[in-house]
Structure 1
């Protein structure tokens, strides 16, 4: 199956950045394959690094929107019936449901960093009728550093780009913690400024 997906992505290479966007719009095409391969194309000089990162982030936002729509208009029964055809299993749907119930709307951001939840988290967001713009913004912000990391490693590994996917999975947890810590610091700074202005 991986060879078929790679052949499909290689075919899309002729369309440049649009090809990267299209490849990632299909949720059954793993970003773990597409983005390091796109990084390899950067290594070969066929694409620009930042152009690839932007294209990958846009594609990585459009793809989840399709599952968001499934959740919003088709619901869980639809995905349970047809999800197997795009490699989405019931246990992954349940994990996403549980994660959404526990953490609320923020999962559209944090869920992107968690294997086993990253793809299917869009479905409960749709089922909860989360604002589509909020969902898209959270997804875009989360996908940007993930995409940049994948593309960077794909470029650095060059012909050994396939080794990038497993490495990103290994470091995804720590990356998420750093981002969450940074967000908490920003929120605290903003809160302190607001409190000082209120008290002055």
Structure 2
């Protein structure tokens, strides 16, 4: 499956940065595969680093918008009935839904860094009819550093870019720890505002 996806992305390379952006708008295409490959293209001199990061970030923002739209306009019955054709399972939706209910709109940012919910969190955001502009801004801001890191690792590993995903996992505990701290701050501020306005 991985080889087919990489072959598909190689075809899109013909469209340069637009092709990279387009590849990442498909949610079935893992960014962990595509972005290190883009880093290898930077290594080869076929692309420049920051334009590639921007293209990857924009594509990584458009992709979640498709799932957001499914949640917002299709509704839960549609997701549960047809989600299986998009490799979406009911228990995954429930997990993401609970995460959204617990932490609110901020999960559109924080959940992007957490395995298991980062892709499907778009669905409960859509179900809750979260403001689409706020959703897009949160998604863009979360996708930017992830994109920059994976492309940089792909550039660093060069011909061995496929090892970049494994290398990124070595940093995952530190990233998750940082996200937990930020999430704690976010919850504290959110609760303080709720308490203030509740008076």
Q: Report if TM-score (shorter chain) is over 0.5.
A: yes
Deviation at 1:167, TM superposition (A): 2.7
- The aligned residue for residue 61 of structure 2 is 61
Aligned-partner Cα distance in 2 for 1:96–1:32: 20
Query: 1:59-118 CA deviation, whole Å, 9 max, x = no partner?
Result: 000000000000000122222222222222222212211111111101000000011101
Cα deviation code 1:124-152 (max 9, x no counterpart)? 00000000000000000000000001000
The equivalent of 1:116 in structure 2 is 116
What is the aligned partner in structure 2 of residue 25 from structure 1?
25
Gaps of 5+ in 2: 190-199
Q: TM-score, normalised by structure 1?
A: 0.86
Task: Provide TM-score, normalisation by structure 2.
Answer: 0.87
How far did residue 182 of structure 1 move?
6.7
1:147 counterpart residue number: 147
The 5 A counterparts of 1:1-200 are 1-178=1-178, 181=181, 184=185
Does the CA-based 8 Å contact 1:32-1:150 persist in structure 2? yes
Task: Give the gaps of 5 or more residues in structure 1.
Answer: 189-200
Equivalent position SS for 1:25: coil
- Aligned residue pairs, count: 187
* C-alpha RMSD of matched pairs (Å): 2.0
